[in-house]
Amino acid sequence: MTITIKDEAGIAAMRTACRLAAQVLDAVAPHVRPGITTLEIDRLCAQEMARQGVRSATIGYQPQGYPPYPGHVCTSVNHVICHGIPSDKKLKKGDIVNVDVTVITPEGWHGDTSRMFEIGDCSIAARRLCALTHEAMWHGIGQVRPGARLGDIGHAIQQFAEGHGLSVVREFCGHGIGRSFHEEPQVLHYGKPGTGEELKPGMIFTIEPMINTGRADIRSLADGWTIVTRDHSLSAQWEHTVAVTPAGCEVLSLSPGMPPVPGFVKELLR
């Protein structure tokens, strides 16, 4: 495993990239309401990226074995776990949607973050899922410090989610990020404490748990990208990009439009 350690200049560049990605979500948030289509959300995100002078990392993205991704962002609605393709279907009251934004700055650095949006009045189960998935992500972030292990992050997320009767998707994970969209290490959202790669200052990666109300089993749709819950249960995801610092952890993708940082983790952030 070759992990790229970022120097101070690299961390500063990633701080800028992630801030801009988060600001895309802040800008589009007032428009995410009943009646809007995910294709319109995609257009608004692309418009904001252009205004900022950055570009989408997802449009045209084509890993081996995949067709080119057609959207500027991913929009995953209700039982869609991840990689939902923007469409002309309107969002309705009670829906939940994850909007996942990755931008590339002119200097070539990637900023990555996602958040959940509740459309109108949602069910208690949907609101609970969104809230607990957000908290699960922060339980993982709370483990990030020099000397900790990747398994500590996954264990904290898994223990919290499963302790609330939810399931953790295992086929997709967080990842290192920098001048490349996906770098080492892979950051699993389940695992055993004390296992995996040791965290060191200068490592930058995403933590982005995908949590289901039902079983963890997944199914891929024919478009080659969209991943859904096999049992059609609701799924939610939140994502931050974090940097390991000498003193602990810096969350690079925070923005004014994000929900507050939970009190239990505030003192761990530097």
pLDDT per residue as tens digits for the range 180-217 = 999 999 999 999 999 999 999 999 999 999 999 999 99
* Model confidence at 270: pLDDT above 60: no
pLDDT per residue as tens digits for the range 22-73 = 999 999 999 999 999 999 999 999 999 999 999 999 999 999 999 999 999 9
CA geometry: angle at 196 spanning 170 and 258, to 5°? 60
Instruction: State the residue range of the domain holding 160.
Output: 8-266
User: In this structure, is residue 2 part of a structural domain?
Assistant: no
What percentage of the chain has pLDDT greater than the value 90?
96
How many Å apart are CA 112 and CA 25, to the nearest integer?
11
User: In this structure, is residue 259 part of a structural domain?
Assistant: yes
What the block records as the tokens of 66 is 């995949």
How many Å apart are CA 191 and CA 189, to the nearest integer?
7
* Model confidence at 268: pLDDT above 80: no
Q: Is 10 exposed, middle or buried (0-12, 13-18, 19+ CB in 10 A)?
A: middle
What the block records as the tokens of 215 is 């079983």
Within 8 A by CB and 6+ apart from 144, the residues are 153, 199, 207, 242, 244, 248, 249, 268
As for how many domains the chain has, the answer is 1
In three-state secondary structure terms, 250 is strand
User: In this structure, is residue 3 part of a structural domain?
Assistant: no
User: In this structure, is residue 210 part of a structural domain?
Assistant: yes
* Model confidence at 266: pLDDT above 80: no
How many Å apart are CA 24 and CA 191, to the nearest integer?
32
User: In this structure, is residue 104 part of a structural domain?
Assistant: yes
Q: Is the pTM of this model over 0.85?
A: yes
Mean pLDDT over the full length of the chain:
97
User: In this structure, is residue 156 part of a structural domain?
Assistant: yes
pLDDT per residue as tens digits for the range 151-174 = 999 999 999 999 999 999 999 999
CATH number of domain containing 259? 3.90.230.10
